[in-house]
């Protein structure tokens, strides 16, 4: 698991809440802190700020040692990278070098640079890697601390290859998932002009497909329930997560070209940026099994 951090508030608590993942085979955490080039780059009359870089590296190193000690004592394997550069390529290269099965990033609402990890940038990561990305939010909308984010995920299905992969990926977490809520959102435009009979036929077909997905989970010992929604995709997914008291939203995502993919990219982008829930986005070209 690659844990990308800018040392946000409560971020170590967030990391601790992901320690349940050990039961699903995630026993190696790699920390990545990227010192943005602007902070140390050539400045007029000052040149490259080597002393500033050293100071920032040491601050990050001290924090990582503290975090690593806590994880090592829990029997975890821990590694750390402190690098200078642009976050996106550094995240991609570190994920490749460490062959990770999950990238965890934070979510920031303020600051230009910090926005990097949310929204379109998350989609950019997914476009360039076959690794799922978890945009993590530590506090649930209810104000409670999200201690077990994988306990009750809500899985948004759109029948794309990416969402089919998300089903397989979630099964890896069978030991920590209590229940999966599987949903499909039909957009209003999909049923515009259709007869009542056609709408009911569509509803029945989607319901059957959702039940088939639920059966896949049940065969793996995971309880699953299906629900249909209609309206704006992101709004309805968010609403469903609140109604069902989910601990996380899971959706397929892809950055490939094509109208469908562009649409999905937008859904992933909006969920990553605006959802109040942790959002796990699974690319279509994901590795078949976790290491």
Partner 1 sequence: MSKKVLTVDDDPDIIAFVKTVLEENSYSPLIARNGEVGLDLAREEKPDLVILDVLMPKQSGIRMYRELKADESLKDTPVIILSGIAKRTFLRSQEALTEFGDQPVPEPDLYIEKPVEPDELAEAIKNLIK
Q: How far apart are CA 159 and CA 65, in angstroms?
A: 44
Q: Tell me which residue of 131, 125, 122, 150 sits closest to 248, measured CA to CA.
A: 150
**Contact 30/79 with Cβ under 8 angstroms?**
yes
Q: What is the nearest approach in angstroms of partner 1 to the Cβ of residue 2?
A: 11
Q: What is the nearest approach in angstroms of partner 1 to the Cβ of residue 76?
A: 8
Sheet hosting strand 223-230, strand order edge to edge: 77-85, 28-36, 2-4, 103-105, 133-135, 279-283, 248-253, 153-156, 179-186, 223-230
Q: How far apart are CA 260 and CA 268, in angstroms?
A: 12
- Options 10, 42, 55, 72; binder of partner 1; rule CB under 8 A: 72
User: Residue 44 class from Cβ within 10 Å (0-12 exposed, 13-18 middle, 19+ buried)?
Assistant: exposed
Of the pair 77, 198, the CB lying nearest partner 1 is at: 77
Of the pair 75, 193, the CB lying nearest partner 1 is at: 75
- Options 23, 55, 77, 258; binder of partner 1; rule CB under 8 A: 77
Segment contacting partner 1 by CB under 8 A, of 3-11, 68-76, 130-138, 147-155 = 68-76
Asked if 68 touches partner 1 (CB under 8 A), the answer is yes
Sites for partner 1 among residues 87-106 (CB under 8 A): 97-98
Asked if 64 touches partner 1 (CB under 8 A), the answer is yes
Percent helix, percent strand, percent coil in the chain, to nearest 5: 45, 20, 35
Tokens read off for 119: 């929204």
- In sequence order, the 6+-apart residues with CB closer than 8 A to the CB of 210 are 157, 182, 183, 184, 226, 227, 228
Q: What is the nearest approach in angstroms of partner 1 to the Cβ of residue 291?
A: 13
Of the pair 75, 288, the CB lying nearest partner 1 is at: 75
Asked if 74 touches partner 1 (CB under 8 A), the answer is yes
Of the pair 61, 266, the CB lying nearest partner 1 is at: 61
Binding mask 14-43 for partner 1 (x = CB under 8 A): ----------------x-------------
Inter-CA distances, 285 with 60, 103, 150, Å: 33, 15, 22
Segment contacting partner 1 by CB under 8 A, of 35-43, 63-71, 178-186, 229-237 = 63-71
Residue 218 DSSP one-character state: H
Q: What is the nearest approach in angstroms of partner 1 to the Cβ of residue 109?
A: 31
Asked if 78 touches partner 1 (CB under 8 A), the answer is yes
Of the pair 81, 217, the CB lying nearest partner 1 is at: 81
Of the pair 77, 289, the CB lying nearest partner 1 is at: 77
CB atoms within 10 A of CB 117: 25
Asked if 73 touches partner 1 (CB under 8 A), the answer is yes
Asked if 80 touches partner 1 (CB under 8 A), the answer is yes
SS3 163: helix
**Contact 252/163 with Cβ under 8 angstroms?**
yes
Asked if 65 touches partner 1 (CB under 8 A), the answer is yes
Q: Which residues bind partner 1 (CB under 8 A)?
A: 30, 61, 64-65, 68-69, 72-75, 77-81, 97-98
């Amino acid at each position: 698991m690659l844990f990308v951090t800018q040392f946000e508030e409560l971020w170590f608590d967030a990391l601790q809440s992901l320690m349940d993942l050990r039961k699903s085979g995630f026993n190696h955490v790699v920390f990545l802190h990227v010192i943005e080039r602007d902070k140390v780059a050539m400045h007029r009359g000052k040149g490259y700020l080597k002393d500033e870089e050293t100071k920032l590296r040491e601050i990050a190193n001290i924090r990582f040692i503290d975090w690593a000690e806590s994880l090592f004592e829990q029997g975890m394997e821990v590694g750390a990278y402190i690098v200078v550069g642009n976050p996106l390529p550094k995240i991609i290269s570190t994920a490749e070098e460490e062959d990770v099965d999950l990238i965890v990033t934070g979510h920031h609402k303020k600051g230009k640079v910090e926005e990097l990890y949310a929204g379109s940038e998350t989609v950019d990561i997914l476009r360039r890697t076959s690794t799922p990305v978890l945009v993590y939010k530590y506090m649930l909308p209810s104000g409670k601390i999200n201690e077990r984010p994988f306990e009750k995920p809500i899985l948004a299905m759109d029948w794309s290859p990416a969402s089919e992969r998300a089903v397989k990926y979630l099964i890896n977490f069978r030991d920590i998932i209590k229940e999966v809520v599987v949903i499909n959102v039909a957009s209003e435009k999909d049923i515009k002009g259709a007869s009542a009979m056609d709408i009911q036929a569509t509803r029945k077909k989607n319901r059957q497909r959702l039940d088939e997905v639920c059966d896949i989970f049940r065969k793996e010992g995971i309880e699953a329930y299906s629900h249909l929604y209609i309206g704006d995709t992101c709004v309805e997914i968010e609403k469903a997560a609140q109604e069902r008291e989910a601990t996380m939203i899971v959706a397929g995502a892809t950055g490939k070209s094509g109208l469908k993919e562009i649409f999905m990219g937008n859904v992933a982008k909006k969920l990553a940026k605006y959802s109040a829930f942790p959002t796990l986005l699974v690319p279509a070209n994901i590795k078949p099994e976790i290491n």
